[in-house]
């Protein structure tokens, strides 16, 4: 048997796709590396990673129960180790003042160096031999597992949240009515890609109706705006809200960009399972750690997927955690204020229309971001011409 890296933009794709199909799985996009175990020229096992998440693991039925799975997992863990080592070294190369904007999760949040796997109940036992532990599950259909790194796992992340909260409250000059039973402790989770007036409206409404609001900004990488920048946009736009604390999610509030679909056959089922897993992690771990009693969501009139997501969360929370779904804020001309619209306007540099949908701090960030992108593009072009 021999392990080799697979290059899915070559003829390797056909062998890979056929093995996944034989195992009842389907191909997934956005993978960073894929590996294959061969016997002679036959691909008998495969596995991939996206960042530090293991995906698309499949073993030919004829070779199940042997060492094929173990060999693939060992190779993937080595691949993740190299990836995380490179991230550490990259972080060290930046000035301390710039680190949070470049790799916010790596610098601050426990769990960034863990390894994660999504699987089914049938396969979960195989992962435990490699140090994975179950974090949460949705019946037998979906098991979310973690192999803890040096920064600590989910329990360390919960301690991190409570410490941030205590430090923030200790530094506050305002007296917050935290013991007022009529005013719940609430939470919002948002991508803020970028932070809009809709996000600000939702945060302000929650703050008015709550003693304290925990605002979680997704830590996932984005092709549009880095997690540290999105975090700071939220901080600057909400700095006047005294009873609001902002947290990064780390890897524990599941990103739609990294959520697996390769072993889930129906697209609607992918959305529902994603939402149910996200809701269970929040309900059973994060909410108790911060005494959260209510969560706010925003509607998305044009997105069937968002509506399905909201309904799935409502089902999980029923009778245990209050859920408030707030209608989307409309602009002065009656258009829904959404981050996707802002991104579209930003791409065509329509600053006049964009200004109607974002707070001044976000507008200032977007202009600066554009200048930096233009300068980098010009620098890259000069380097190419000089070659």
Rounded average pLDDT per 10-residue block, the chain, 387 residues: 91 92 85 93 92 90 86 95 83 52 55 88 88 89 90 93 91 58 89 94 96 93 85 94 93 70 66 87 95 92 77 92 93 87 93 93 93 76 65
* Topology of domain 180-377, CATH: Rossmann fold (3.40.50)
CA nearest neighbour of 267 among 304, 311, 297: 304
For 330-357, letters b (16+ CB in 10 Å) and e give: ebeeeebbbbebbbebbeeeeeeebeeb
Structure tokens at 317: 């929370």
| Backbone torsions φ then ψ of 49, nearest 5 degrees | -135, 150
pLDDT of residue 76: 95
Structure tokens at 43: 């691909």
pLDDT of residue 100: 44
CA nearest neighbour of 36 among 52, 21, 16, 55: 16
Element (H, E) at 380: helix 360-385
Strands 294-298, 322-326: pairing kind? parallel
pLDDT of residue 366: 94
Give the Cα separation of 69 and 129 in Å (integer): 11
CB atoms within 10 A of CB 107: 14
User: Model confidence over 268-308: pLDDT tens digits?
Assistant: 777 788 888 889 999 999 999 999 999 999 887 767 777 88
Long-range contacts of residues 21-28, Cβ cutoff 8 Å, at least 24 apart: 22/58, 22/60, 22/61, 23/58, 23/59, 23/60, 23/61, 24/263, 25/56, 25/58, 25/262, 25/263, 26/261, 26/262, 26/263, 26/265, 27/56, 27/262, 28/55, 28/56, 28/260, 28/261, 28/262
- Kindly tell me the number of DSSP H helices and DSSP E strands found in the chain: 14, 12
Give me the residue spans of the domains in the chain: 1-93, 180-377
pLDDT of residue 304: 76
3-class state of residue 44 by DSSP: strand
Sign of CA dihedral 136, 139, 140, 142: negative
Give the Cα separation of 81 and 40 in Å (integer): 28
pTM passes above 0.85: yes
User: Model confidence over 59-114: pLDDT tens digits?
Assistant: 998 888 779 999 999 999 999 999 988 877 766 665 544 444 434 444 568 888 89
Sign of CA dihedral 154, 172, 235, 107: negative
Strands 294-298, 2-6: pairing kind? unpaired
Strands 185-190, 142-147: pairing kind? unpaired
| Backbone torsions φ then ψ of 21, nearest 5 degrees | -60, -40
Please answer whether residues 37 and 72 qualify as being in contact, where contact means their C-beta atoms are separated by less than 8 angstroms.
Answer: yes
pLDDT of residue 253: 84
CATH homologous superfamily of 1-93 equals Gcn5-related N-acetyltransferase (GNAT) (3.40.630.30)
Give the Cα separation of 227 and 225 in Å (integer): 7
Please answer whether residues 250 and 105 qualify as being in contact, where contact means their C-beta atoms are separated by less than 8 angstroms.
Answer: yes
Residues 6+ apart with CB under 8 A from 300: 306, 307, 328, 336, 338
């Amino acid at each position: 048997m021999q392990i080799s890296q697979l290059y899915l933009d070559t003829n390797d794709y056909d062998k890979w796709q056929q093995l996944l199909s034989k195992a009842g799985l389907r191909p997934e996009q956005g993978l960073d590396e894929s590996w294959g175990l061969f016997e002679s020229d036959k691909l008998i096992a495969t596995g991939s990673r996206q960042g530090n998440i293991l995906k698309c693991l499949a073993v030919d039925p004829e070779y199940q129960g042997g060492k094929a799975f173990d060999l693939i997992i060992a190779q993937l863990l080595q691949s993740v180790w190299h990836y995380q080592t490179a991230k550490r070294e990259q972080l060290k190369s930046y000035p301390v003042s710039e680190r949070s904007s470049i790799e916010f999760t790596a610098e601050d949040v426990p769990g960034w160096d863990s390894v994660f796997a999504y699987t089914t109940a049938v396969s979960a036992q195989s992962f435990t031999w490699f140090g994975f532990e179950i974090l949460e599950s949705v019946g037998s259909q979906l098991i979310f597992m973690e192999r803890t790194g040096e920064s600590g796992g989910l329990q360390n992340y919960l301690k991190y949240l409570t410490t941030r909260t205590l430090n923030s409250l200790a530094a506050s000059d305002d007296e917050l009515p935290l013991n007022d039973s009529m005013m719940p402790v609430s939470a919002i989770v948002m991508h803020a890609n970028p932070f809009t007036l809709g996000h600000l409206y939702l945060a302000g409404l929650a703050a008015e109706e709550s003693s304290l609001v925990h605002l979680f900004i997704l830590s996932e990488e984005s092709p549009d705006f880095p997690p540290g920048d999105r975090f700071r946009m939220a901080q600057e736009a909400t700095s006047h809200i005294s009873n609001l604390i902002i947290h990064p999610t780390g890897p524990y509030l599941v990103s739609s960009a990294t959520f697996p679909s390769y072993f889930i056959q129906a697209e609607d089922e992918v959305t529902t399972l994603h939402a149910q897993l996200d809701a269970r992690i929040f309900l059973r771990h994060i909410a108790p750690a911060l005494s959260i009693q209510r969560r706010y969501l925003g509607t998305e009139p044009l997105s069937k997927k968002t509506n399905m997501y909201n309904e799935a969360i409502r089902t999980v929370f029923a009778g245990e955690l209050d859920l408030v779904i707030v209608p989307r804020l409309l602009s002065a001309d009656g258009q829904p204020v959404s981050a996707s619209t802002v991104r579209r306007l930003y791409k065509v540099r329509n600053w006049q229309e964009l200004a109607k949908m974002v707070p001044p701090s976000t507008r200032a960030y977007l202009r600066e971001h554009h200048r930096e992108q233009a300068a980098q593009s010009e620098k890259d072009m000069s380097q190419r011409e000089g070659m």
